[in-house]
Amino acid sequence: MDTVRVPLPDGDYDIHIDPGGLGRVGSALATHCRSTLATIISDETVAPLYAERLGRSLIDAGIEYTLMTIPPGEPSKSLDMASQLYDELAAARHARNAPIIALGGGVVGDLAGFVAATWHRGVPFVQCPTTLEAMIDAAVGGKTAVNHRLGKNLIGAFHQPLFVMVDPDTLVTLANRDYTAALAESVKHAVISGEAFLAWHEQHASDLRQHDLSYVPELIRRNCEIKAAIVAADEREQSESSVGRAALNFGHTIGHAIESSAEYKLRHGEAVALGMVGEMELAVRCMGFLNSDRLRIERLMDALGLPLTSGIKEISLVYENLFVDKKAMSDRLRFVVPRGPGDMAWLDSAAKDDILHSIQWIVNRP
């Protein structure tokens, strides 16, 4: 088992990367809180696969549990679904010392985390991610959210987990498309962190694309280490001296606008990949980002099977959706873009024509 520590002012927590770890959640949880009751929130796809394994570990540790399930997919990340879960928590008399355990991908983790942050003004929370995207990104860092009809993740809270249990064994049931899409978040972390992780991806691109699971524990550990360091330095995106935690939004400003414009028919990682392509074009045009670095990163993305182009038709809709991004300041758009690998910066002075060109670039990229 590998363990990555996330050091925070209000208390550290661990990310355990442990094959078979779902069977050890109960014993780990018993060391963190004394409640003999817990609630598992999962979706209707994941629960039949892994809820019994997780539940058995809780029972073995003397913890009774209630299982709540939601329909899979982005539409479940809503206030309406959160309200349904509140009703179920009330019916189950879920007390303020009882933990909520998220079992699933990013949608489940974000929604369950938001519910945990707001039920009784905050109850203990545990992340058990079952998708690669959640393991390397969504389950780490304490951001929780639901979507608003105008945009993604507009309603949320910071709520750090007691711990994160990453069980790579659950990836055997992950669809190939979801596995590949998740690699976009790993490329994002590589661009943010710099040369070493970029070179590692290039060295292992073929193995990663072929879903060679022998490389997955290292992939997860490296991503978690990078994100943990960024979160520890700027937990709530309040850095004034640098981009700070906002660096993690690289690819997400345009990516979220594409995702909502496409009515969430794209995987999140696919939209982030397209967002990185568009934002790197902005960086080349406006921030002196070297075209050679852009081409290097795009070659890596292509080698991993990530999309570089899209048949986006409503360029103006994507542009309008940018204004509901959380980083937008009044009527001014803000992007986090690379000046070079490992060197991220704010771009808040891009002209509308440059932004429209960068969205169009995703469609007509040479």
- The residue behind tokens 């550290």 is 12
Catalytic residue among 152, 201, 256, 334: 256
The catalytic residue among 152, 189, 252, 267 is 252
Torsion of CA 283, 286, 289, 290, to 10 degrees: 120
The residue from 94, 227, 267, 285 that is catalytic is 227
Q: Work out the end-to-end distance of the chain between its first and last CA atoms, rounded to an integer number of angstroms.
A: 45
For residue 249, indicate whether it is catalytic. yes
| CA-to-CA dists, residue 286 to 279, 337, 345, angstroms | 10, 10, 11
Active-site residue, from 24, 77, 94, 143: 143
Q: Evaluate whether 101 touches 38 at the Cβ level (below 8 Å).
A: yes
Distance CA 54, CA 319 (A): 43
Active-site hit among 152, 188, 268, 285? 268
**One of 74, 185, 279, 281 is an active-site residue; which one?**
185
Q: Name the maximum alpha-carbon separation found in the chain.
A: 61
Whether 53 is catalytic is no
151 Cβ contact list (under 8 Å, min separation 6): 256, 260, 321, 324, 325
Q: Is residue 268 among the annotated active site residues?
A: yes
Any catalytic annotation for residue 64? no
Q: Is 334 a catalytic residue?
A: no
Q: Which of 159, 189, 245, 334 is catalytic?
A: 245
Q: Which of 32, 204, 237, 339 is catalytic?
A: 237
Task: Point out the catalytic residue in the list 249, 285, 298, 334.
Answer: 249
69, two tokens: 């399930």
Torsion (CA) 175, 181, 183, 185 in degrees, nearest 10? -130
Task: Identify whether 245 is a catalytic site residue.
Answer: yes
Q: Which backbone phi and psi does 276 adopt, to 5 degrees?
A: -65, -40
Return the active site residues.
Answer: 121, 143, 185, 227, 237, 245, 249, 252, 256, 268
